[in-house]
Amino acid sequence: MPIITCIDDLKQLHRRRAPKMFFDYVESGSYTEQTFRDNSADFAEIRLRQKVAVDLLGRTTDSTMIGHRVAMPVALAPVGLAGMQSADGEIKAARAAEAFGVPFTLSTMSICSIEDIARHTTTPFWFQLYVMNDQDYVAATIERAKRAGCSALVLTLDLQILGQRHKDIKNDLSAPPRLTLKNLIDFATRPRWVAGMALTRRHSFGNIVGHAKGVDDLTSLTRWTNEQFDPQLDWAKIARIRDQWGGKLILKGILDVDDARRAADFGADAILVSNHGGRQLDGALSSIRMLPGIVKAVGDRTEVFLDSGIRSGQDVLKALALGAKGTFIGRSYIYGLGAMGQAGVTRALDIIHKELDITMALCGEKSVAGLGRHNLLLPADFGTRYR
């Protein structure tokens, strides 16, 4: 067992332990992957200001996100098919998040269902909704999330049309995977994964199969998901969903200043500045580069969160210093899940927490609330280079 000291170590282990098609599903962006690469590269452009001779006792990363207390302002982002990286993956990730004291967001496209997560956790989790054409399904799903006690709805706005990821097509990605010779040869080298999957019955989309009309087998499910995302989602429909839900609402996938203003006027509890981890509009700017303009545009009318490209506590600190109230991580915890199940997600959270705490201290700060522009050294044109 290798010694794990950083998120990249978890990624290397994930690559070895999960089937190729599922690791590739995580480790890809759309088309040329330019935005996927920029998300991380742009964090690396930001440098930190070292401060000395500051009393560093009593530091804390405690904070709040939409009024919920969090051990650090880092939520687990919704990630489809997490239950294919490790058996019952969403339950494992939700439990790790609960024990750590950070929010877990369940994807519509998860393997474990809303009810599964509710049964295996005690603190409320967040639910991410994709809007489908089938309005009965959308309404019923919102009701299920309410019944399960979900404490926020994360409405994803940047995936009404699916961005193309070449590897998923080449690998013939599906859940459950097809038992082709190529896949069977691949599984033979992942005994841990196979053993886990043999012990669970959760192998397909738990929020959809048995809930959406006419979906009872995989073939129709694949067709259903391709056809069912609502390409006409607009602000009027978003308002309808807000009314149906009636609770805390986070709008996910905002990357433009005008859209951010609109979302703030709309009264969202928070917006999540995101380009879906570089998986949708290839050629879009990185989230971290768009963040300063968006923070300035919305002021304190809504909380601003950020995801896409966070691989360390230093990245979290940079986002907070640029004005985000909180962050989300996707791949960083999924690598942990694929590497070591629940323990791997805990490890990912520990790594990021420790990095955040130490980096904060070396910047001379004792709390996340104290972070700001004064902690950063930015290229002169950061956030304004492209107009």
Ligand X SMILES: Cc1cc2nc3c(=O)[nH]c(=O)nc-3n(C[C@H](O)[C@H](O)[C@H](O)COP(=O)(O)O)c2cc1C
Q: What is the set of active-site residues?
A: 276
- Nearest one of 200, 206, 196, 205 to 338, comparing CA atoms: 196
Q: Which residue's Cβ has the minimum distance to ligand X?
A: 330
Q: Minimal distance in Å, beta carbon 119 to ligand X?
A: 21
SS3 call for 103: coil
- Which of 109/197 has CB closer to ligand X? 109
Report the site for ligand X in 267-326 (rule: CB under 6 A): 274, 276-277, 279, 307-310
Q: Minimal distance in Å, beta carbon 53 to ligand X?
A: 35
Report the site for ligand X in 255-274 (rule: CB under 6 A): 274
Residues 308 and 272: beta-carbon distance below 8 Å = no
156 touches ligand X (CB under 6 A): yes
- Which of 353/365 has CB closer to ligand X? 353
- Which of 264/337 has CB closer to ligand X? 337
- Which of 111/197 has CB closer to ligand X? 111
In this chain, which of 92, 331, 347, 353 binds ligand X, going by CB under 6 A?
331
CA distance 77 to 354: 20
Q: Minimal distance in Å, beta carbon 109 to ligand X?
A: 4
In this chain, which of 10, 11, 17, 39 binds ligand X, going by CB under 6 A?
39
207 touches ligand X (CB under 6 A): no
65 touches ligand X (CB under 6 A): no
In this chain, which of 25, 125, 126, 245 binds ligand X, going by CB under 6 A?
25
- The edge-to-edge listing of strands for the beta sheet with 152-156 is 74-76, 326-329, 303-306, 270-273, 249-254, 152-156, 126-129, 105-106
Report the site for ligand X in 171-190 (rule: CB under 6 A): none
User: Which of 180-188, 235-243, 330-338, 354-362 is the region at the interface with ligand X (rule: CB under 6 A)?
Assistant: 330-338
Residues 299 and 46: beta-carbon distance below 8 Å = no
107 touches ligand X (CB under 6 A): yes
Q: What is the largest CA-CA distance in the chain?
A: 66
- Which of 127/340 has CB closer to ligand X? 127
Task: Collect all residues with Cβ–Cβ distance below 8 Å to 16 and sequence separation of at least 6.
Answer: none
How many residues of this chain interact with ligand X, rule: CB under 6 A?
A: 24
In this chain, which of 78, 163, 341, 383 binds ligand X, going by CB under 6 A?
78
Pairing of β 270-273 and β 303-306: parallel
What distances in angstroms separate CA 158 from CA 100, 252, 351, one per listed residue?
Answer: 29, 7, 29
Task: Collect all residues with Cβ–Cβ distance below 8 Å to 44 and sequence separation of at least 6.
Answer: none
CA distance 240 to 331: 31
What is the DSSP annotation of 173-240?
A: --SSPP--HHHHHHHHT-HHHHHHHHT----S-TTTTTTSTT--SHHHHHHHHHHHB-TT--HHHHHH
Task: Collect all residues with Cβ–Cβ distance below 8 Å to 15 and sequence separation of at least 6.
Answer: 23, 27, 338
In this chain, which of 7, 66, 77, 352 binds ligand X, going by CB under 6 A?
77
353 touches ligand X (CB under 6 A): no
End-to-end CA distance of the chain: 48
CA distance 274 to 285: 10
338 touches ligand X (CB under 6 A): no
327 touches ligand X (CB under 6 A): no
132 touches ligand X (CB under 6 A): no
Cis peptide bond prior to 191, omega within 30° of 0: no
Q: Minimal distance in Å, beta carbon 39 to ligand X?
A: 6
Q: Which residues sit at the interface with ligand X, rule CB under 6 A? A: 25-26, 39, 77-80, 107, 109, 128, 156, 252, 274, 276-277, 279, 307-310, 329-332
